[in-house]
Amino acid sequence: MSEKKVSEAIEYRRSVRVFDDEKDIDPNIIKKCIEQAILAPNSSNLQLWEFYHITDADLIKRIARACFSQPAAKTAKQFVIPVVRKDLWKKRIASNVAFIESEHKKSKSKDPKKIKAATSYYQKILPKIYGMGNLMGWINSFITNIKGLKKVVYRQVKKSDMRVVAHKSTALAAQNFLVSMSGYGYDTCSMEGFDSQRVKIILGLPKTAEISMIIGCGIRTPKGIYGPRFRVPFDEVYFKK
């Protein structure tokens, strides 16, 4: 299997709705693509995601039914399910702080003030944002917008804002996965049509977890691509100022 360049992989990627039933895919390649997925940029490096790689035949059938048995799910050889775990923010903060302190011990040449500033960001600033309840979040947002009348401020401080941030970061990682899969000549389809509650039960996820999307994986058939790629004209979305 020849690997593609990044630009080639992006061009090759299509949302494949029907996968070849006779062509299997290597779960080790899928795992490698997930390893590349988690190298994606993400907010404050909190990595508030989990990736569920579904290879069990019975689970594949159950998840396909929860995806309304749409062709991209029913013919998928495997599934990859990116899950948003905003509820793990405390654990991820602790991991980042431990890493920073560990790196500092390895290299005494690092500036202690920078180390303190980095750990302070994780231990003091982020908890105020991620630990904010709904009411306090709205109050904090109001205060922040008042301050913003006179200076530059960070305005996404509500609980709902942090949920959006976590989903954006997970989507960035998912995109890494899609491109990586294309690079290996494998195909995917990102699905948003599914019963999230049923899938969470199948995966044994806690109530606080949120499924970002369900990605069907396989190898395309000619009928799996529903026509030429359509994009609105570039000048409708590109603005240079």
83: CATH:
3.40.109.10
- Statement to judge: residues 146 and 203 lie in one domain: no
pTM value surpassing 0.85: yes
Distance CA 21, CA 14 (A): 18
Q: How far is CA 89 from CA 4, 62, 163, 171, 196, in A?
A: 36, 30, 11, 17, 22
The phi, psi pair for 195, rounded to 5°, reads -85, 100
Question: How, if at all, do strands 187-191 and 214-218 pair?
Answer: antiparallel
- Statement to judge: residues 77 and 131 lie in one domain: no
- Statement to judge: residues 141 and 98 lie in one domain: yes
Here the tokens at position 37 are 């997925």
Contact call for residues 224 and 18 (beta carbons, < 8 A): yes
- Statement to judge: residues 23 and 82 lie in one domain: yes
- Statement to judge: residues 17 and 82 lie in one domain: yes
Question: Which residue among 124, 158, 192 closes a domain?
Answer: 158
Identity of residue 105:
K
- Name the domain count of the chain: 2
Question: Which residue among 158, 180, 207 closes a domain?
Answer: 158
- Statement to judge: residues 180 and 74 lie in one domain: yes
Residue 233 belongs to some domain of the structure: no
Give residue 3's pLDDT: 78
Helices (H), the chain: 6-12, 27-37, 57-66, 71-74, 89-106, 112-120, 126-130, 134-147, 159-183, 196-203
CA 241 to chain centre: 30
Q: Is 50 helix (H, G, I), strand (E, B) or coil?
A: strand
Question: Which residue among 103, 127, 158 closes a domain?
Answer: 158
pLDDT in tens, the chain (241 residues): 667 899 999 999 999 999 999 999 999 999 999 999 999 999 999 999 999 999 999 999 999 999 999 999 999 999 999 999 999 999 999 999 999 989 888 876 667 788 888 899 999 989 988 987 767 767 777 778 788 888 887 777 777 888 999 999 999 999 999 999 999 999 999 999 999 999 999 999 999 999 999 999 999 999 999 999 999 999 999 999 9
